[in-house]
Structure 1
Amino acid sequence: MLRRISSSISGRLISACKTIPNRRLFAFIDLLNMQHHKCDNSIPSHLLDYPLHYAVHTKNLDLLNKLLSKPTVFIDQEDDQGRTALHCAMSQTCHQIVECLLQHRANVDCVDYQGSTAAHLAVKQRDLLYLNLLLEHNADCLIGDRYGKSTLDLVCEYGEQAMFEILVERGVLSNLVYQLSTNQNSDNACFCQSSALGLAARNGHITICAELLEHQFPINVFTAQGSALHESCINGEWQVVRLLLYKGIDHTITDICGQTALHIAQTYLLRSKWSVAGEEAVSFLQITKVAILVCKKWKRKKEARLKCVFQADRQTHTHIIYGRAFVLYACTQMIYRFGEEGVVN
């Protein structure tokens, strides 16, 4: 009886208030029509101003369909953060909600106040299915956010191999390579606000770095922080340094302060205080011949200068190597040798 009465009341309210552009009222009316839906007290009250966002946040597919059936409802309405319902859906674990919004032609390239698209948020959520759905609806994965990072940049930064392969298959990487190639100068260098190669190098994702270069990504792309060589040196990713030098990166490229990767590595080397035990140091030494050579030179010539990087433990008769300093020193030695000989052993 109460259900029939409330349904009758809501029906009369709808017919009486069709011309009133009050989002809160329409949200309330739609909630009356969904008697089986139980409101969550944890939902922020301001979401009542955004019915679509409310439906997405509560994962109420029936309410969402009902709202989208109304001609007065704008599917790409933004909330107080500039996010659409599709943005909001990226943080929910309900793929049916996303599919519903896409079927009703939600704009996949809308950006919020941070410049992020739904694809940006899908990558941040590490949700491969969401990214696939967006790509099927022609999402532009080269739109940069407020930091200049595109969806592809974020994938490379996070080291999401599966997402990276999908973007390659969809032609996103080839489109980016074409755009960058048209902006290269006579030295085959190109300045960008953000670099997929630099972000991958910064975080040590050597596989993605190698695949980017295999797909003809310009190796000498640089940002205000410098080239990918700068990024890998600063963060001690010395295997990435080796890869970049093998592939012929220009080690004379400077950052916004006019410093090369070698200068950066030397600066951070002297400031490094992180240490690792001897066993970990041995594993470093077994990686490459360059590391062994660096270790010998370092112990013989650089001990005083670097404040006793090797410190003998009188009790255990072992050596402690400052791990981060060791890696940075290896980077400087590789760049030195590359500059002098043109090769890295």
Structure 2
Amino acid sequence: MIYTITLNPTIDRLLYLEDELTKEKNNRLESIAYDLGGKGHHGSYAMSKLGVENLALGFCGTTNKSKLEKILEEKGINHDFVDIYGKPTRESYVILEKNISGSILITERGYAVSSYDKSLLFDKIEEKVEAEDTVLIAGSMPPGFEITDLEKLLELLKGIGCFIACDLSGEALKTAVKAGVNFIKPNRFEIQELSTQGESLVDTVKELTKTIEYVIVSQGGKGSLCGHGNEFYQIGVPTVVVVNDTGAGDCFVGSFLASLAQKKSFVDALTLATACSASKVQHKDSTSFNVRDAQNLQRKVTVEKVG
């Protein structure tokens, strides 16, 4: 079983503009839609889409819980949340301009979690997760969830002996590296915080793979630099028309972990995850991708051995 943990979930409100966003102008909306937000939820969707069983854990506000659960049901995602009573799950605003590729993302900060809320989540994890399972911790931490709490969570999972994947940033990423988790996916900016001054990117990845099983460095449109054991690859992305890039990295992570669960090789997992991400950016919403399209795009993903 794969468990995803989204500590600071969000509901994506997709705002489709009639034209290009312009200051000092009344920017009219063409339409509004809602989708899943939160890195872990996006990862769960990709796993479910690829036929890999998973369960979404984390926190959920009660005042708009029905809205989030409706989206989860539509996306086919099983979940078991800790309720934060009297508070709403935050919303993210994804602005999509007419005939402009990419998106603008604006996020709310989110509700604060209490010591009791955190203890309920830890108890749920301890009750469910077993040594043969995979756990993905992804996204930001809500107010009230401190680095010491993340350390406690990682210590709990390390004690269970499961595979730990982390898609985190800042101090949370450094904490995951220090704990020696099994998987990290920093972007080209975050990896600099883990590098020694003057060290090349390849050397940084090599150093990290001494303690972390899988290291994937996202480089945006340039693909990714990936390390596992003594294997190091530069992965190139196929050329596609980008409509909405929100959630593309999360799609990659979910697809990659799903591929590992299906016992695919490192290279096959990388190329399929890259292709799923390339399929995702062609869609208007935050999660959707087409598996058949991804399988076709996988043939166009380039793999170059480095180091």
How high is the TM-score relative to the length of structure 1?
0.28
Instruction: Specify the structure having the higher radius of gyration (Cα).
Output: 1
- Report which of the two has the higher share of strand: 2
Q: Taking structure 2 as the reference length, what is the TM-score of the superposition?
A: 0.30
Larger helix share, 1 or 2:
1
Structure number with greater CO (CA < 8 Å, separation at least 6) is 2
